[in-house]
Structure 1
Amino acid sequence: MDNSTFRHSILLVEGLKVSPQSSYSVFILLLLAYTFTMVSNIGLIILISTEKNLHHPMHFLFCNLPLNDIVGTTVILPRLMQDVLRETSERYVTYVDCVFQAYFVHIFIVACHYVLMLGLTIRLSTCRSKIENPFCDNASLFKLSCEDVSINNVYGLIYTVAVLCFSAVSVFITYVKIATVCRTSKNKALNSKAIKTCSTHLAVYLIMFITGATMVFLHRFPEYSESRKLCSIMFHIVPPGLNPLVYGLQTKEIRQKFAGVLGIIVVLHEPVSAKL
């Protein structure tokens, strides 16, 4: 394989900079995060699918979020865990596989937007072969080009700012209305439930908002690459693990069904002597 073919078909993924001594610890941490995310999200989908009492539009909407989280996490973590155990010089990926990963990394966010973004990126010729990220995404792909990428940068920044502003304003208006209702309501139980639910929702939202915004903007500042990598990992790992707890177990019907399933499992695993 000549050098020009190598540059255009095989890419080197920079990945996480971990020492050989800490690579297994990082691998185990990522494996636990992936296992918890898969078990909790798949469990939520199975519970909603098998329980007829949960076959309502609201609960079917809850199934969409776990599916998105499963896709978004699966296209990143297995490959990332493999790279953690590999030497830095052996973290190769084909250009085609990198494009597919970049698409599926973003498809669960806003698919149409990233189809356009990837279209703007794929049109560029490549003169570099290093992905400066733990995984492939659109910003890392257009950094492979030596051409003028101002269109990509401008479009990406404008779209990101617009989405973040719209999201923040929508959340602010929603919480103001909820706070107004709680203030005028004299139902202490309802107010307590609203505060508990909203606080957990807001915590997950802030994690996504801050890490997502930081990840996008720090792509323009190479000197902060390690901070950007940390934010990108948190953005794609923490919310998918917390979403089943926030949106699933805080829903009364799902929580009751889940408690019932746990009760059955505990009874089945009780020693025979205890039952007698």
Structure 2
Amino acid sequence: MDNFTFNFRLSLEPFYIPSGARYPIFFIGLLIYLFCISCNMTLIGLIITRRNLHKPMYFILFSLPLNDLIGITAMLPKVLSDILMDTSEVYYPLCVLQGFLLHMYGGGVLFILAAMAFDRYVAICFPLRYNSIMTPHAVVAIIAVVWGLDFVLNVALFSLQARLPWCRSTVLNVFCDNPSLLKLTCGNTTINNIIGLFNTAVMQIISVSIQAFSYVKILITCLGSRQNEARSKAINTCVAQLVIFFIFEIVGTFTILSHRFQNISPDLQKIMGMLIFLVSPILNPIVYGLNTNEIRTYILKSYQMNLATPAS
């Protein structure tokens, strides 16, 4: 088969949906998607338009809703379309593009949360030097490393698939990802598996190391602080970021381990796999919209102004 022909179709393996539940599941999924899009776009819009939010913390935070939009848009519309149209076909190039974007999203979550943890470490442990350390050039460099490293790792991962011959056309998942695409090949995938494990190790080691270092230092600083209000605010900010990280890791770990056990339902594996791309886009706008005082203030003011505006 020609790996790059746009006429090469793959069949996705759908999960079982009772006939009477097809439309309710579609509308629930559509509401989730619209909620995520509107909330994450609101965060992006506020950070762009509000000058008071033009700070290092919010420039780094800007990457998080942007990454969430990439992840949920790459996955959910296709799944909802398959549910509604009762079809499960996808062209090969679109399948590869979906897999690449989903892997970019996964690595992006880890790297962005690490960058945000480092920013909080500098702000809390070195408050007087924060502006001299987190300069505009430093912030741009951090954001460039986050997206650049994620992009390079995933380009290396997916470019290796071009050398392999294809002998199957059924993707054993409801969306395309690197492991599912590798199962379609009949060549030697040893190098692919090694690079995949290497990428996972690099992403996890960098993210976990930076976050562990940052939050341990923050905890030590907060415990030694005599300012109860500042200590409480710092701890609340860090706890919110840690909750997002741990939920993402727990869902991801369960999904990976579930493929190692034969007694776990394939439908449950697919649903848990989808949750990886739903947890962050759903929780992040809530956590950072409600837990960040400046963003919460702008949202409440906008809501009050809309209520006060008389209908024409």
* Same fold? TM cut 0.5: yes
Task: Assess if the C-alpha contact under 8 Å between 2:168 and 2:184 holds in 1.
Answer: yes
Once residues 10 and 34 of structure 1 are traced to their aligned partners in structure 2, the CA distance between those partners, rounded to angstroms, is 26
Deviates more, 1:172-181 or 1:224-233: 224-233
Tell me the equivalent position of 1:97: 94
1:182 equivalent among 198, 207, 222: 222
* Aligned alpha-carbon RMSD (Å): 2.4
Deviation of 1:248 after TM superposition, in Å, equals: 4.0
2:240 equivalent among 200, 212, 234: 200
Q: Structure 1 221/159 Cα, relative in aligned 2: closer, same or farther at 3 Å? A: farther
Task: Assess if the C-alpha contact under 8 Å between 2:99 and 2:178 holds in 1.
Answer: yes
Once residues 284 and 193 of structure 2 are traced to their aligned partners in structure 1, the CA distance between those partners, rounded to angstroms, is 31
Once residues 188 and 235 of structure 1 are traced to their aligned partners in structure 2, the CA distance between those partners, rounded to angstroms, is 36
Task: Assess if the C-alpha contact under 8 Å between 1:164 and 1:209 holds in 2.
Answer: no
Q: Structure 1 112/215 Cα, relative in aligned 2: closer, same or farther at 3 Å? A: farther
Deviates more, 1:183-192 or 1:141-150: 183-192
Equivalent runs, 1:229-248 vs 2, <5 Å: 229-248=270-289
For 1:98, the aligned partner's letter is C
Task: Assess if the C-alpha contact under 8 Å between 2:164 and 2:185 holds in 1.
Answer: yes
Tell me the equivalent position of 1:262: 303
Deviation of 1:265 after TM superposition, in Å, equals: 1.0
TM-score (norm 1): 0.86
Q: Deviations over 1:1-43 (max 9, x none)?
A: x9xxx9x811101133222222223212211211111011111
Tell me the equivalent position of 2:48: 49
Once residues 22 and 177 of structure 1 are traced to their aligned partners in structure 2, the CA distance between those partners, rounded to angstroms, is 50
Do residues 29 (structure 1) and 28 (structure 2) align? yes
Equivalent runs, 1:1-276 vs 2, <5 Å: 9-87=8-86, 90-108=87-105, 109=107, 110-219=150-259, 224=264, 225-268=266-309
Deviation of 1:218 after TM superposition, in Å, equals: 4.4
Q: Deviations over 1:90-111 (max 9, x none)?
A: 3111111111111222234322
Once residues 78 and 215 of structure 1 are traced to their aligned partners in structure 2, the CA distance between those partners, rounded to angstroms, is 21
The runs of 5 or more residues in structure 2 that have no matched partner are 108-149
Deviation of 1:223 after TM superposition, in Å, equals: 5.6
Q: Structure 1 203/63 Cα, relative in aligned 2: closer, same or farther at 3 Å? A: same
| Number of residue pairs aligned between Structure 1 and Structure 2 | 264
Q: Deviations over 1:125-173 (max 9, x none)?
A: 1111111111111111111012221222222123313422332233222
Task: Assess if the C-alpha contact under 8 Å between 1:62 and 1:248 holds in 2.
Answer: no
Once residues 219 and 143 of structure 1 are traced to their aligned partners in structure 2, the CA distance between those partners, rounded to angstroms, is 13
Deviant stretches of 4+, over 6 Å: none
TM-score (norm 2): 0.76
Deviation of 1:219 after TM superposition, in Å, equals: 4.8
Once residues 175 and 252 of structure 1 are traced to their aligned partners in structure 2, the CA distance between those partners, rounded to angstroms, is 21
Aligned identity (percent) is 36
Q: Structure 1 114/221 Cα, relative in aligned 2: closer, same or farther at 3 Å? A: farther
Once residues 65 and 71 of structure 1 are traced to their aligned partners in structure 2, the CA distance between those partners, rounded to angstroms, is 10
The runs of 5 or more residues in structure 1 that have no matched partner are none
